């Protein structure tokens, strides 16, 4: 079963169970997935104006990896919103965002620990021969394929920055 089918099945069962937080979070996620598919379809139609609607529809379906990118993006939005609400003293809203984030993370691969990321950062720095902060781009280019979907990119960037200073 694809990730998209799994999410749709979950949405149906949460609807039957009357779980509001899960339903609203999955609806927002599916809305983002559909928007991403529309963007992809538009791009494909520009490249191949003679393609049939069915062909475009089929080619524009997101794969599991692309859906993980959407989930990661949605999780990042929740994380940032929670921080913003906390700074503004709106703890109830921050808690809602954190609950949604926690729920979304269930659809992501297991996240790497900070120690695992630090190990990868050390390896990447050694591999590219980075010595100062201006080499951060090279290190990140080495790390991104290894941490994509498994670690928060802002945490990875922070750890790279710390290691290069």
Q: What is the CATH number of the domain that holds 147?
A: 1.10.10.410
pLDDT at 50: 86
Q: How far apart are CA 148 and CA 83, in angstroms?
A: 22
Q: Are residues 60 and 16 in the same domain?
A: yes
Q: Are residues 26 and 94 in the same domain?
A: yes
Which of 107, 128, 152 terminates a domain? The answer is 107
Q: Are residues 91 and 123 in the same domain?
A: no
**Which residue intervals of 19-135 are DSSP H helices?**
20-47, 53-59, 64-87, 91-104, 114-128
Q: Which of 165, 76, 151 is closest to 143 using CA atoms?
A: 151
Q: Which of 17, 24, 81, 143 is closest to 158 using CA atoms?
A: 143
Using DSSP, state whether 165 is helix, strand or coil: coil
Model pLDDT for residues 10-58, shown as the tens digit of each residue: 999 999 999 999 999 999 999 999 999 999 999 888 888 888 888 888 8
The burial of 71, by beta-carbon neighbours within 10 Å (0-12 exposed, 13-18 middle, 19 or more buried), is given as buried
- Model confidence at 157: pLDDT above 80: yes
Q: Are residues 19 and 85 in the same domain?
A: yes
Q: Are residues 99 and 143 in the same domain?
A: no
Q: Which of 138, 132, 141, 119 is closest to 161 using CA atoms?
A: 132
Model pLDDT for residues 59-90, shown as the tens digit of each residue: 889 888 889 889 988 988 999 999 999 999 99
- Mean pLDDT value across the chain: 88
The whole domain housing 149 covers 114-164
Q: Are residues 63 and 103 in the same domain?
A: yes
pLDDT band at 136 (very low <50, low <70, confident <90, very high): confident
Q: Are residues 79 and 12 in the same domain?
A: yes
pTM: 0.75
Q: Are residues 60 and 90 in the same domain?
A: yes
Half-sphere exposure of 37 (CA within 13 A, CB side): 17
Q: Are residues 68 and 141 in the same domain?
A: no
The CATH number assigned to the domain holding 85 equals 1.10.1510.10
Q: Are residues 151 and 93 in the same domain?
A: no
Q: Are residues 88 and 125 in the same domain?
A: no
pLDDT at 88: 93
Residue carrying the six token digits 């992809």: 40
Q: Which of 1, 8, 72, 52 is closest to 34 using CA atoms?
A: 8
């Amino acid at each position: 079963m694809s990730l998209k089918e799994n999410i749709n099945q979950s949405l149906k069962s949460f609807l039957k169970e009357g779980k509001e937080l899960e339903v609203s979070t999955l609806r927002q996620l599916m809305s983002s997935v559909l928007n991403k598919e529309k963007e992809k379809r538009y791009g494909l139609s520009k490249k191949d104006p003679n393609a049939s609607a069915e062909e475009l529809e089929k080619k524009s379906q997101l794969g599991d990896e692309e859906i993980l990118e959407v989930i990661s993006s949605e999780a990042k939005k929740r994380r940032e919103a929670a921080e913003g609400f906390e700074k503004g003293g709106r703890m109830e809203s921050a808690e809602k965002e954190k609950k949604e984030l926690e729920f979304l993370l269930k659809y992501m691969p297991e996240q790497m620990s900070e120690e695992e990321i630090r190990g990868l950062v050390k390896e990447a720095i050694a591999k590219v021969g980075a010595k100062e902060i201006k080499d951060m781009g090279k290190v990140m280019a080495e790390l991104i394929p290894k941490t994509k979907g498994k670690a928060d990119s802002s945490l990875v960037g922070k750890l790279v920055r710390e290691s290069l200073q």
